[in-house]
């Protein structure tokens, strides 16, 4: 990305040292490793590696586009045969794993590192948007229950979950063929379900940062299982204030015979979305809910890199007190997926004026900026611009150094 700086700023930066330019602001919701995937494999053969690479490419495209539909995109599927061409490097390692019986063992893992530029070109070729690494953080409340009991994830009631699963297995008993060809009754297996791990693993797969409530005394006082079970907006919002998340996800996970039904509520930036899903397993029900959540949020933030709407906009930012503020501001704007180019137009005291080229609509850029409050919207012009600059659409912000310094 080309950045044109006025001479005064260039001289200041030279005197201050180039190391300042490489300093990046702390982004609390910056998702790392978007282009990296670890896959369990049986051996180090070429055939297993190619198969794992094809599966990983599909997962990566879903993650960086924010769309589950990327898996069935015709261009993406046609490139799977050449998925190795998108790999920057790979390595094998042994991972310690513990099975349900508590036995330790080793699992061979294949770590794949994809080339970002190649994948961005694939996004463009396939007509898919790009969801940048700065993503909204989602607080997840989960109420679980059946006809006999209800409890919140993270509370003592979660110990009842194996009993529920066992009861489900008993009610939905199946038969299998013995080695002698006779039908025998299948004994229900003891199930070990870690709800938080299921949610965390799926969220990591989608590149969606999530928070799980502490369920400490403060949470127990502020929210009840009935609030989450009924997805009542006001008590859920009130209990979520302490976590300062960008979005709130509340779900009712209900056992109906051999089916797990989920009812979801997503609160985000004034929007209230709800949907229902069904699955034969808890894992399937929860992962489907996270998939839908990621798809919904990506619709708000992902942008097409080849968008025909490349509009130039003038941005004025005040409270740029020192060189570090300037460096942080430029780095921050560079990392917004809805901005293709940044040029410094004018400096007046502690205010800097920038020309930015937008990818897509201005609304997408403003939603990205609202995620972490590094730039606070101002309603009045901060200084007069000269010449043709005043003919551009303008936005006015104040640089929030308190957020940057955290």
Query: What are the residue boundaries of the structural domains of the chain, listed by start?
Result: 7-29+305-404, 36-126, 138-146+190-301
Cα separation, 95 vs 103, in Å, equals 14
CATH superfamily of 138-146+190-301: Ribosome hibernation promotion factor-like (3.30.160.100)
What own/partner pairs with CB < 8 Å and gap ≥ 24 does 346-349 have?
Answer: 346/6, 346/385, 346/386, 346/389, 347/6, 347/8, 347/9, 348/383
- At 162 the pLDDT is 84
Q: What is the pLDDT of residue 284?
A: 96
Is residue 64 within 8 A of residue 118, CB to CB? The reply is no
The whole-number pLDDT of residue 393 equals: 59
DSSP state at residue 155: S
The whole-number pLDDT of residue 338 equals: 86
Sequence-ordered list of residues with C-beta below 8 angstroms from that of 157, at least 6 positions apart, any chain: 144, 149, 150, 151, 225
pTM of the entire structure? 0.76
- pLDDT, residue 303, reads 87
Give 3-state DSSP helix, strand, coil % of the chain, rounded to 5.
40, 30, 30
Report mean pLDDT in 10-residue bins for the chain, 406 residues: 41 35 45 96 96 98 97 96 96 91 91 95 93 95 92 92 73 44 44 88 97 96 97 97 96 93 95 95 96 95 70 89 92 88 88 88 86 84 42 79 67
φ/ψ of 333, rounded to 5, equals: -65, -35
């Amino acid at each position: 990305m080309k950045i044109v700086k006025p001479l005064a700023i260039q001289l200041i930066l030279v005197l201050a040292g180039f190391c300042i330019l490489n300093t990046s602001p702390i982004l609390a919701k910056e998702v790392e490793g978007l282009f990296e995937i670890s896959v369990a494999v049986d051996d180090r053969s070429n055939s297993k590696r190619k198969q794992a690479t094809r599966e990983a490419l599909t997962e990566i495209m879903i993650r960086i586009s924010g769309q589950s539909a990327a898996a069935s995109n015709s261009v993406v599927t046609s490139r799977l045969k050449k998925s190795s061409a998108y790999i920057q490097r790979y390595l094998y390692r042994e991972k310690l794993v513990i099975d349900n019986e508590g036995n330790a063992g080793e699992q061979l893992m294949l770590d794949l590192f994809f080339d970002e530029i190649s994948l961005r070109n694939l996004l463009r070729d396939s007509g898919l948007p790009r969801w940048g690494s700065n993503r909204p953080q989602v607080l997840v409340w989960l109420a679980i229950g059946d006809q006999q009991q209800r409890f919140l994830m993270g509370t003592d009631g979660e110990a009842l979950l194996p009993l529920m699963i066992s009861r489900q297995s008993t009610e939905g008993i199946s038969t299998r063929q013995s080695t002698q060809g006779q039908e025998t009754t299948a004994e229900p297996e003891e199930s070990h379900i870690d709800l938080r791990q299921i949610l965390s693993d799926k969220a990591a797969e989608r590149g969606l940062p999530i928070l799980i409530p502490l369920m400490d005394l403060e949470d127990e006082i502020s929210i009840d299982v009935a609030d989450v079970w009924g997805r009542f907006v006001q008590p859920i919002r009130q209990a979520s204030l302490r976590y300062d998340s960008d979005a709130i996800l509340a779900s009712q996970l209900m056992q109906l015979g051999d089916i797990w039904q989920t009812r979801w509520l997503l609160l985000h930036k004034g929007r209230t979305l709800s949907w229902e899903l069904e699955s034969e397993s808890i894992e399937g029900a929860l992962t489907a809910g996270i998939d839908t959540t990621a798809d919904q949020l990506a619709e708000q933030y992902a942008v097409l890199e080849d968008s025909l709407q490349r509009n130039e906009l003038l941005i004025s930012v005040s409270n740029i007190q020192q060189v570090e503020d300037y460096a942080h501001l430029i780095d921050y704007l560079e990392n917004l997926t809805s901005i293709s180019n940044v040029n410094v137009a004018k400096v007046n005291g502690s205010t800097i004026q920038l020309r930015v080229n937008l990818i897509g609509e201005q609304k997408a850029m403003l939603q990205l900026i609202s995620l972490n409050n590094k730039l606070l919207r101002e309603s009045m012009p901060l200084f007069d611009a000269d010449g043709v600059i005043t003919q551009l659409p303008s936005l006015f912000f104040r640089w929030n150094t308190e957020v940057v310094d955290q």
